[in-house]
Amino acid sequence: MDAAVALAALSDYCKQNSSFVPRISQLTTRWHAHVAGYDVEVLCTGPKFFDTRAKKGGGGALDLTMHLAKLDFKQAVALLRAKGL
């Protein structure tokens, strides 16, 4: 699953930065979002993500959910199911 799709489903607010110019992969997009009570800036390239403020990344909707919502595996699966992902 595309990380940007998962980010949009998890966030209270999510907006793509249209002025962002990627340096490595032209498929990379930068997003500003409000998730679980705090603001994040996330780079997304397909299923991979990188949180620029926390300096952490990963791959897949589960990793993104566990990182942003600070949940364990089972809780992240339940949240994604609740969101219909």
In total, the chain counts a number of residues equal to 85
pLDDT tens profile 37-84: 999 999 999 999 999 999 999 999 999 999 999 999 999 999 999 999
CA dihedral 45, 49, 50, 51 (to 10 degrees): 130
Instruction: Measure the CA–CA gap between 6 and 26, rounded to whole angstroms.
Output: 20
pLDDT tens profile 8-20: 999 999 999 999 9
Q: Is residue 79 within 8 Å of residue 65, measured between CB atoms?
A: yes
Which single residue is written with the structure tokens 């390239």?
45
